[in-house]
Amino acid sequence: MHPPVPSRPTPLPAPAAHAPLLATVLGAARRRALRDGDRQVDTAHLLHALVESDPETRAAFDGEHRVARVLGYLVQRSIGYGLRWQRSGEGGGAPLPLPAARAGEGARRRTARWSPAAAAALEEALRRAAARGEEQPTGLDLLAGLAADPGSRAGEVLRHARIDPPALGARAVALASRRAPDGAALPDGEGLPPGSLPGDAEH
């Protein structure tokens, strides 16, 4: 039996309504969940949409071969380990309805149910942007939010792809901190942690 759904939607904070990239990612994640027949939009849906939508996020993986590994696992969620995801929600809480119309999703917002972990990642992205004095979160902010929960479905996908979620999150934070006030990236080599992400020793 499914856990009860809250009677009132939990709204995204106002800045999320005006972030074009975030609106694109939320819409793509929601549509992917509907296509897959999943009962909620989870962190793996968000990760999939984010990696496909944002070049800065792909750059945080520090190598196209790592991006390919992650996408390889994400596209296989309809088989293997992903089949059990269809039978249960992500995390122990009830799915959270978010007003998708405020994120560019139009009138079909009532079908969007977000896992508690996905909602937490979105909140973390907004918090990180606000800490820099920016209204709009970047893809790197959302990636850091997803990587902050290694036990989530996104974290499981990353570990399958031999990528350490905390290390990826640290790189996303470092890259986000190097953004100029106008959103452009600063020159290479400033403020990045040395070395590449763990995971290539097995590759």
Interval 26-33 mean pLDDT:
91
31 vs 90: which has the higher pLDDT: 31
Residue 119: is its pLDDT beyond 80?
yes
pTM: 0.74
pLDDT at 168 over 90: yes
pLDDT at 109 > cutoff 60: no
Has residue 87 got a pLDDT over 80? no
Predicted confidence band of residue 132 (pLDDT cuts 50, 70, 90): confident
Q: Residue 148: what pLDDT?
A: 95
Average pLDDT over residues 30-37: 86
Q: How far apart are CA 104 and CA 23, in angstroms?
A: 6
pLDDT of residue 127: 92
Average pLDDT over residues 60-76: 92
Specify the pLDDT at position 136. Answer: 83
193 vs 51 pLDDT, higher one: 51
* % of residues, the chain, pLDDT over 70: 62
